[in-house]
Structure 1
Amino acid sequence: MRELTYGDVKAAADRIAGRIRPVTVAPLDSGAIRTAYRDPLDERASRPCEVWVALEYMQHTGSFKARGAQNFLQAHRDAGTLPEAGVTIASGGNAGLACAWAARQEGVTATVFLPATAPAVKVAKLRSYGADVRLVGDEYAEALAACEEFVSATGALASHAYDNPLIAAGAGTLLEEIRQQIPGLDTVVVAVGGGGLFAGVATAAQHHGVRTVAVEPENCRALNAAVEAGHPVDVTVDSIASDSLGARRASRMALTAAQHERVHSVLVPDDEIAAARRALWDHRRIAVEHGAATALAALASSPRRTTDHDVQPGPGTLSRHYRPADGEKIAVILCGANTDPSDLTSPTEPN
């Protein structure tokens, strides 16, 4: 698979303009995020960092996935390669919802394969978008195999949750919109699963000289492990955020993007992901997935060991937090909100 380019992201932005909801950004309270360690002999006046949250969970279908799905289908329609059999995908998560939604926008059929054990609420949501839902087997692998057989038998267009240049380029349009609203943006912080959102955002960020902080749960680290190994590898998936960040292997496209300059890898523990999610609810009444809160956890967490403190790591370097510099402008992408908010409580008054 070829390397994703900034031209792909720009083409996607033009292609999906007017078909998706532009992202909204909102500033966090000044001083909410601690900045890096300062030399006590440094007499210069300190400046708080500026941290903004990009509210992409307000996107169609409740996640950023709508961007990639729309770009994928529109590109195939423009190229005359969208078959009468429509599009198909094996996914009961955000990717499946986005595929079904985009297919309805394009007036084509989406056939979505799920294990028979899939929650009824997901099945109902998919059908509300007009999808033909096929329940097969008890595991995702069985649903995927059925999906592949369906492609062979019908000629339907196979979509993927993240490992496709059109999907990743569509996700990368987020960075373009964020930069328009935050002039002088220094850093974008993004949660990583299989790497579609990361690859698109990091590719656009690299073009503009913006730093990308790629954040994963400690026990769900497909991208970090790929950078460490030099090639995609399978990893164990065991995290509170694995429902949305639980890819066992990052895409090669994401690995290539992670090897660029200005990309930093951060791993955060589950307890800090949960704390970041609760903080968003307590202080902003924002209810997001654990996967979305993973990005914020990289800024809100405390250093885990003295050798980690306030280091700005290089590509592939393991760190357990990211400490902004004085005056740094940062955007944290809150990428999805398809979650059950019943476990969110309000032990403190909003700031």
Structure 2
Amino acid sequence: MRRGSPLKRVHTKMKRERFSVLLAGIGFWIIAVTSLAAEAEPVRKVIDQYATLARSAEQQGTITVPGKEGWLFFGPELRFVSAGPFWGPAAAKVSRATKPEFADPLLAIVDFHRQLKKMGVELLMVPVPPKSVVYPDFLSDQLTLSRENPPVRIDTESQAFYQLLQKEGIRVLDLTSFFLANRFHREGAPFCKQDTHWSGNGCVLAARKIREEIEGRPWLKAIPKSTYRSAWKSLPIAGDLWKALGEKGVIQEILSVRQVGTGSVGALTSVAPDQKSPVILVGDSHNLVFHAGEDMLTRDAGLPDQLALELGFPVDLAAVRGSGATPARVNLLRRAQRDPNYWMKKKLVIWCFASREFTQSDGWKKVPLLP
């Protein structure tokens, strides 16, 4: 081939174009990395501030961390959000588990999933997002308070952990982005301002997403449905963070709840949980708040009630006031001990608990589901 031939000029041009594309790709990569680093810097500052606030609250012997515009936050939750990776080798360093061998949540969760799968029961994990992740601008002075655009997610580790669970075949309903998009919902925020739990509307929103997540299952279509009624009402609450604050000048929060039942709207009759239901709701007090009354604030307006309304039948409830990690699963074992046929007609376990349990529980033990 002679120098300067048309074919060689074409080859030279193609090389130059490929080199230009490569340079452009490198340029875009540099821009992307720079952009990510720019986004990560404010997040890191917020996380560092959370760690400081959590330590300060613990040193002062309080669980309450005051935020902006009357919002109160939970010190142990801030510790979880700022803890970093909480599974694998890192677990024992950040967990509050009583024994290091029970620090890693991954092993216990995978074991629970495998036991259920062996019995033909599906697991849906619904970790309740931290309030401080949905409303970081109402706590951190590193962020400008915004009612227009929701802040970026700061729970990097939780997102990575949920992806890891999904690779293990475990379905995870991550409500964080959904709650961020509904921070100022017309029926109220997804979280109480003065309590560690989600709000009455948080229960409503969560139940709707759970129904969307599971609808279409053949067994679900085959279940006879009932028609329930609902009514919104407002009530003042004595939130646990408000009580811990101990300042008499802070007015109690008033929020809206949607009560569910049968009969007339003015005098609804409760929909009781049903141990024969194919759907089990298991976990911590997020499944009891607004449902169980007394220290759980009111009745008939919690997640079990909203699920009954959304699904058209009552769920089985196996929640505890303590940790949703190990004690909640022990609850299931005890039921199977009392009733050898307990698991026979079960189809779905909805495991709902505060995400802070990943580091703040007493530990994640493997628990057999059959005696």
TM-score by length of 2: 0.25
State the structure with more CA Rg. Answer: 2
